[in-house]
């Protein structure tokens, strides 16, 4: 009997070892050649990828990247031309050249074949999986031996933080409409974001100079140059595609405003009293100073307001601020907050008026280390605010380090919204965990939220409505339904129970001709991060 058990145990262990034996997914360190430090390796990768073909196979409105800065992110402060049009393409697809660089790299490194692991996330959308397969295919065409390493997003990020990868398909969504949101990522001292440890003194200097200067057109030129250094000369990152988003919006409704570099605006929907919208992810957190995802932000811009909001073209317009004054040197802004701006609870009862102190409290809370918000740097690094104070009940004064062209637009971001401090303190841990534990000061009130299922907004009767929108009659009720499966969602749309639907790449061809089909461009730019210091296999 004992013998039998022993045999059984031995068998289990044996099989266990054979399965777990060849552990260690990353590169081997026996080889002391760091292949990605070889410029020709990176050039071979850069030239190998047919970005147009990748974007086309995704078929969801994604477009081939022409640089690390996405389309429609920012425009030249003098001429108003889009960054991408100003710069032109800084990437190219050329198989012959890629093969030449590959051969050169092999020669220099003394290898017959170059192997690399391509890391990507499996739960970051179908387009990422498809794109990874496509990229691997194109790299293999040139001669690389590619192993696709698929991981959950959190693990992918951990591997990247630890520097345990060769090449990773990753993305960055712009926080604000300025090249800086991308350019900051790859300076040598940004240890959080520059996972590949791209290190170029030229690039660092260009970015630093751009951020230091007050001359807007010089700044612009420096960013153009910096992108060239990063992408075209050094191949420090390999841009691949800019995410799209195919949707159908029922032709009877209009007013959903998409922004590629800011939060989409759902405040101005007209055409129907009650609209049923789709969302493929749920709200993560109602605390707008803590949230990080687009879905939460969209919901938060409905029930709260900032000093400004964005119109359909992405230009700022005043919201809770009635008026503002800017000092001559452009560093001091004084906002007058609307008298009729109030905090209301879930039932629409007015709690009290919105004061300048609420903005001070909000900004103080955002930057406080205890909150550990992802956007704690918003006030100081993006708005460039040095100090802020409540002059009187309705007057809010901000002093900037230097003039900031994007200041007013960036006030429309939920991180810069006011808070009702005594309410938050009273709620304690419960704050922002349900419709009842938040206050509204925006055009809508969150009436209910069933996590994983739906959340509903009703128009806030207390909110001042712009003539423009009251006249048109914005929707009285907005219901968001959380649905992940695109095929049943489309059926539900066709059955008339939904007013918008998100399409997967597979569904686009069959629905392109449908009335209401929209091909939007999102801000997310997907690129290959090359781990310069990693030992290739």
Reading phi first (left if > 0) and then psi (alpha if -120 to 50, else beta), residue 516 is in: left
Q: Identify residues 368-387 at the interface with other proteins (CB under 8 A).
A: 369-370, 372-376
Give the residue, chosen from 30, 452, 467, 513, that forms a contact with other proteins under the rule CB under 8 A. Answer: 452
Q: Taking CB under 8 A as the rule, does residue 109 contact other proteins?
A: no
Residue 285 binds other proteins, judged by CB under 8 A: yes
Tell which residue, 250, 458, 234, has the closest CA to residue 346.
Answer: 458
Q: What is the DSSP string of 446-491?
A: EEEEETTTEEEEEE-TTS---HHHHHHTB-SEEEEEE---HHHHHH
Site mask, other proteins, residues 169-188, x = CB under 8 A?
-xxxx-x-------------
60 versus 358: smaller Cβ distance to other proteins: 60
Of 34, 103, 129, 270, which one interacts with other proteins (CB under 8 A)? 129
69 binds other proteins (CB under 8 A): no
Residues in CB range of 388: below 8 A, 6 or more apart: 359, 360, 363, 379, 396, 397, 398, 399
Pairing outcome for strands 342-344 and 350-353: antiparallel
Span 459-518, contacts to other proteins by CB under 8 A = 481-492, 494-495, 497, 504-507, 509-510
- Give the integer Cα–Cα distance in Å for 187 and 436: 44
With CB under 8 A as the contact rule, the residue among 79, 92, 158, 470 that binds other proteins is: 158
- Counting contacts by CB under 8 A, is residue 28 touching other proteins? no
Contact between residue 158 and residue 123 where contact means Cβ atoms under 8 Å apart: no
Q: Does 53 bind other proteins (CB under 8 A)?
A: yes
Q: Which of 76, 89, 97, 150 binds other proteins (CB under 8 A)?
A: 150
CA 65 to chain centre: 16
- Shorter beta-carbon distance to other proteins: residue 318 or 490: 490
Residues forming beta bridges with residue 82, ordered by sequence position: 75
Q: Which of 99, 104, 115, 130 binds other proteins (CB under 8 A)?
A: 130
Could you tell me the smallest distance in angstroms from the CB atom of residue 483 to other proteins? 5
Task: Restricting to residues 190-249, name those near other proteins by CB under 8 A.
Answer: 191-193
* Closest separation in Å from C-beta 157 to other proteins: 4
Does residue number 80 form part of the binding site for other proteins (CB under 8 A)?
A: no
Q: What are phi and psi of 83, to 5 degrees?
A: -50, -45
- Please state, in angstroms and rounded to a whole number, the distance separating the CA atoms of residues 459 and 476: 5
157 binds other proteins (CB under 8 A): yes
Q: Is the dihedral of CA 159, 160, 165, 168 positive or negative?
A: positive
Q: Does 300 bind other proteins (CB under 8 A)?
A: no
Least gap, CB of 401 to other proteins (angstroms): 21
**CB environment 304-327: b (16+ within 10 A), e (fewer):** bbbbbbbeeebebebbbbbebeee
Residue 284 found at the interface with other proteins (CB under 8 A): yes
């Amino acid at each position: 009997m004992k013998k039998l058990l022993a045999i059984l145990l031995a068998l289990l262990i044996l099989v266990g070892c054979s399965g777990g034996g060849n552990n260690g997914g990353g590169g081997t360190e026996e080889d002391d050649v760091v292949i990605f430090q070889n410029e020709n390796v990176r050039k071979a990768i850069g030239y190998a990828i047919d970005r147009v073909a990748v974007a086309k196979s995704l078929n969801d409105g994604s477009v081939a990247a022409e640089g690390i800065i996405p389309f429609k992110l920012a425009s030249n402060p003098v001429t108003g031309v889009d960054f991408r049009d100003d710069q032109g393409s800084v990437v190219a697809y050329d198989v012959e050249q890629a093969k030449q660089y590959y051969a050169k790299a092999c020669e220099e490194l003394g290898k017959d074949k170059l192997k690399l692991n391509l890391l990507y996330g499996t739960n970051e959308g179908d387009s990422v999986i498809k794109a990874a397969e496509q990229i691997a295919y194109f790299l293999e065409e040139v001669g690389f031996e590619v192993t696709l390493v698929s991981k959950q997003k959190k693990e992918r990020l951990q591997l990247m933080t630890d520097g345990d990868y060769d090449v990773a398909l990753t993305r960055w969504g712009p926080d604000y409409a300025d090249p800086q949101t991308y350019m900051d990522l790859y300076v040598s001292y940004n240890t959080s974001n520059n996972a590949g440890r791209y290190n170029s003194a030229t690039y660092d200097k260009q970015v630093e100079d751009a951020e230091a200067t007050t001359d807007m057109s010089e700044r612009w030129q420096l960013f153009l140059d910096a992108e060239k250094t990063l992408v075209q000369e050094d191949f420090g990152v390999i841009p691949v595609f800019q995410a799209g988003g195919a949707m159908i919006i029922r032709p009877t409704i209009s007013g959903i405003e998409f922004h590629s570099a800011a939060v989409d605006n759902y405040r101005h929907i007209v055409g129907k009293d009650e609209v049923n919208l789709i969302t493929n992810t749920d709200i993560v957190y109602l605390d707008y100073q803590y949230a990080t995802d687009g879905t939460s932000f969209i919901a938060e811009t409905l029930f709260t307001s900032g000093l400004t909001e964005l119109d359909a073209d992405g230009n700022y317009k005043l919201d809770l601020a009635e008026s503002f004054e800017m000092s001559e040197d452009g560093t001091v802004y004084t906002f007058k907050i609307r008298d009729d701006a109030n905090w209301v609870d879930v039932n629409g009862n007015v709690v009290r008026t919105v004061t300048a102190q609420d903005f001070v409290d909000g900004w103080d809370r955002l930057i406080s280390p205890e909150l550990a918000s992802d956007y704690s740097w918003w006030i100081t690094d993006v708005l460039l605010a040095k100090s802020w104070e409540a002059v009187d009940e309705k007057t809010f004064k901000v002093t900037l380090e230097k003039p900031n062209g994007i200041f007013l637009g960036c006030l429309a971001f939920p991180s810069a919204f006011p808070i009702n401090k005594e309410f938050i303190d009273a709620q304690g841990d419960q704050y922002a965990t349900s419709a009842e534990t938040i206050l509204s000061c925006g055009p809508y009130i969150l009436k209910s939220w069933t996590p994983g299922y739906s959340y509903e907004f009703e128009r806030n009767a207390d909110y001042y409505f712009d003539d423009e929108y009251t006249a048109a009659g914005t929707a009285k009720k907005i219901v968001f339904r959380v649905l992940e499966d695109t095929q049943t969602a489309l059926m539900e749309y066709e059955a008339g129970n939904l007013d918008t639907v998100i399409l997967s790449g597979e569904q686009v061809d069959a629905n392109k001709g449908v009335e209401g089909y929209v091909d939007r461009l999102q801000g997310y730019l997907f690129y290959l991060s090359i781990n310069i210091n990693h030992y290739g296999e």
